[in-house]
């Protein structure tokens, strides 16, 4: 599958990338548009949400809103 994606990306003039990059981009964009981790896990067919949580690490601004302020910190 990765070689199919790589060949198609090269034919389209997008550079060379494989299926992993396509899956990662899809997962990241789904989260950015409001999909839950459970929904992304279902689309990407992950067995556990823990696997899908890797994609949540990419959106640092969204994760910042979830972080608890450090005691004595500015935030």
Q: Domains of the chain: which residue ranges?
A: 24-66
pLDDT bin (cut points 50, 70, 90) of residue 69 is confident
- 74 closest CA partner among 61, 64, 59: 64
User: Does the pLDDT value for residue 72 go beyond 90?
Assistant: no
Q: Is the pLDDT of residue 21 over 70?
A: yes
Task: Assess contact for 12 and 1: CB atoms under 8 A.
Answer: no
**pTM (whole model) above 0.85:** no
CB 56 within 8 A of CB 32: no
């Amino acid at each position: 599958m990765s070689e199919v994606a790589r060949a198609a990306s090269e034919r389209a003039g997008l550079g060379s990338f494989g299926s992993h990059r396509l899956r990662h981009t899809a997962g990241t964009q789904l989260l950015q548009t409001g999909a839950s981790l459970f929904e992304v896990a279902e689309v990407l067919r992950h067995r556990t949400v823990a696997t899908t949580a890797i994609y949540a690490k990419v959106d640092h601004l969204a994760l910042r809103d979830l972080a608890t302020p450090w005691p004595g910190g500015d935030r």
